[in-house]
A and B are shown apart, each in its own frame.
Chain A
Amino acid sequence: MSVLKPNRLPRWFSLVVFTFVMFLFPFFSPNPYITTVMAFAGINILLCTGLNLLLGYAGQISFGHAAFWGLGAYVYGILTAKFAWAPVLSLFAAIFFTCLSALAIGIPTLRLRGHYLAVGTLGVGIILQIFFIQLDSLTGGPSGLIKIASFSVGGLVFDTPLKSHYLIWSWVFLGLLGALNLADSRMGRAMRAIKESEVAAETMGVKTFKYKLIIFTLTAGYASVAGVLYAQYLNFAAPETFGLMNSVLLLAMVVVGGIGSFWGPVVGALILTFLPEYLRAYEGLEVLLYGVILAGVMMFIPKGFAPIVKSLPIYLRRIGKR
């Protein structure tokens, strides 16, 4: 029985349960709108899980994550809307192109450290966003790209929110599973070593630059899939989605959830995706409240919500024993 104690469940088991609950979600969701928000939460989870690999495991910051998200969305969007490529092919093209760009961008910028890496990635993010706006014959310019095809594989077209829900959450499952395996692999250990001390890791024979580059590319890969899912869900993509504001918000989601923990990005993405929906009730005040809550969480719960959620079963049992 001791294996089944809630706080000792193997992560893969909780992952399967979590995915199962999310698959059932449309059936007990109070209304279709909440289901839509949940789909976006799934996309954010994918983005944050990727970002957490870079930030939480390898200790490298990126202020340009949303731009890779945009790159995935735009490559998929342009190929399906302007060149009528098959969605599956466009998906692979989007992943490939985004990873290749990340590789090209990572080789110079990942030599930077700390604040300079923050500024470098911030600059890259802004430059990419400007290209989304300026290449308007391809991207539709500031008003956005329309007529992006819904994803389809074989005869199955994901053209309803319900079908997209399953597409998105299947990818979330794959993404989380990937992160789980990576964390316990040779590469995961190398990443944690880099986070602790780059010099020490290098001394122990870890090729730090190589691993940083791989993880940066992988992070961009996660973002590109999220971009494709986003674009095929809305059949639309606009440049302001992929700017600095969202890059910082994604960072905030990871930190609010809990940096470097497996469930952290999931918790953070869920909280910060649903928060604006609940703040809608306070019309006019919502932006102010969002800022105050974000700052407040960082000030008083600096380690994020994941540790709290994790220790919840222990508290509950203690209360139960009394």
Chain B
Amino acid sequence: MVEILQYIFSGITVGSIYGLIAVGFCIVYNATEVINFSQGEFVMLGGMIGAVVFKAWGLPLPLVFLLSVAACFLLGWICEKLTIGLSRSHDILNLIIITFGLAIAIKGAVMMIWGKFAKDMPAFSGEIPLTIMGATLVPQAIWIVGVSVLVMLCMRLFLNNTAIGIAMRASASEKVAASLVGIPVKLISSISFAIASAIGAVAGLIITPLTLTSYDHGTMLGLKGFCAAIIGGMGNIYGGFLGGLILGLLEAFGAGIVSSGYRDVVAFLALILLLLIRPSGLLGETGKDRISKI
């Protein structure tokens, strides 16, 4: 019983991170239809910048947090302008490989600047674990879940209630029509990339105190986030987040019950099964446009 509770705790913690990354994926995917392979690298970058700034300048954590998120927002914007924005081809496979090249370049740059060693950051509010019904819970886990849910809700409000958000949804559902009514589609693509990068940075910052971060830490996290987005149904932020939670729980139970080495097998098998049964994802609506509700 205690074990099950423990699995649930760790599943929800990791799942929130996946969910948050999935939200970033949904945003870029809906604006550009690209599987953004560099999403995970921004998770790494966020954690990395945070850890380096904290160590070098000794600023208070909230300021470090803001700095890192702002830096990634800007870097995301610049990267989009330099890659997808400049690309002559709009073929999806080309764009995917461009983001893959970008991911390698970011990884290479981080390796060059900060080396290969793992970096860490202190937990936001101490490391004394709480005990709930026999299962332990580190305070950072509560931060992770709290911040993730908050970011997700903010994104939903942003997309539904602000002019930029509505423009993003419009250009996602029909690019030509959106540009006809005066929506700057290219600008929207940059904004979506920047926002996704900033969300990635948040994910990286809240998970670094638990898992450390290093130059090669982002790829797998990005991949899991993408799978979460597919499980939940692209185009729906709640769906992406829910997908993250499901993936996290599957992994935790897979690791606990089968073996930790096969944890990803359980997760990816579930993904493939779901794709076969319900290709549009859990909350995606079958037969309708993927963007119908965001």
By a beta-carbon cutoff of 8 Å, the part of chain A in contact with chain B is 61, 108-109, 111-112, 115-116, 118-120, 122-124, 126-127, 130-131, 133-134, 244-245, 248, 251-252, 255, 259, 284-296, 298-300, 302-303
Contacts and interface: CB of A to CB of B under 8 A. Distances in A.
A302 B100 contact: no
A291 B82 CA distance: 13
Nearest to B107: A287
Contact of A112 (B95, B104, B259, B276): B276
A289 B219 CA distance: 18
B196 interface: no
A120 B223 CA distance: 12
A303 B94 CA distance: 9
Contact of B87 (A61, A109, A302): A302
A299 B87 contact: yes
Interface residues of B, number: 43
18 contacts: A111-B276, A115-B35, A118-B35, A127-B265, A127-B268, A130-B264, A134-B259, A248-B100, A288-B108, A288-B112, A291-B103, A291-B104, A293-B101, A295-B98, A298-B101, A299-B86, A299-B98, A302-B87
* Chain A interface SS verdict (over half): helix
A286 B89 CA distance: 26
A314 to B, nearest CB: 22
B226 interface: yes
A292 B269 contact: no
B230 interface: yes
Q: Which of A244, A245, A252, A284 has the most CB of B within 10 A?
A: A252
Contacts of B88: 299-300, 302
Contact of B101 (A111, A123, A295): A295
A217 B171 CA distance: 39
Interface of B: 35, 37, 83, 86-89, 91, 93-95, 97-109, 111-112, 219, 223, 226-227, 230, 259, 261-262, 264-265, 268-269, 271-272, 275-276, 279
A294 B100 contact: yes
Contacts of A112: 275-276, 279
B272 A294 contact: no
A302 B91 contact: yes
B83 A119 contact: no
B115 to A, nearest CB: 10
Nearest to B271: A123
B35 A294 contact: no
B267 to A, nearest CB: 9
A30 B271 CA distance: 49
Nearest to B111: A287
A61 B95 CA distance: 14
Nearest to A131: B265
Contacts of B104: 287-288, 290-291, 294
Contacts of A119: 226-227, 230, 271, 275
A298 B87 contact: yes
Contact of A294 (B101, B106, B112, B264): B101
Given A291-B108, A302-B91, 4 more contacts: A115-B35, A118-B35, A130-B261, A285-B112
Contacts of B262: 130, 134
A168 B40 CA distance: 37
B110 to A, nearest CB: 9
Contact of A291 (B35, B106, B226): B106
Contacts of B223: 122, 126, 244
Nearest to A115: B35
Contacts of A244: 219, 223
A120 B275 contact: yes
Contacts of B268: 123-124, 126-127
A94 B94 CA distance: 33
A295 to B, nearest CB: 3
A251 B83 CA distance: 19
B76 to A, nearest CB: 15
Contacts of B99: 295
A298 B108 contact: no
Contacts of A288: 104-105, 108-109, 112
Given A287-B104, A291-B103, A251 B97 contact: yes
A131 B264 CA distance: 10
Contacts of A134: 259, 261-262
B109 A109 contact: no
B130 to A, nearest CB: 33
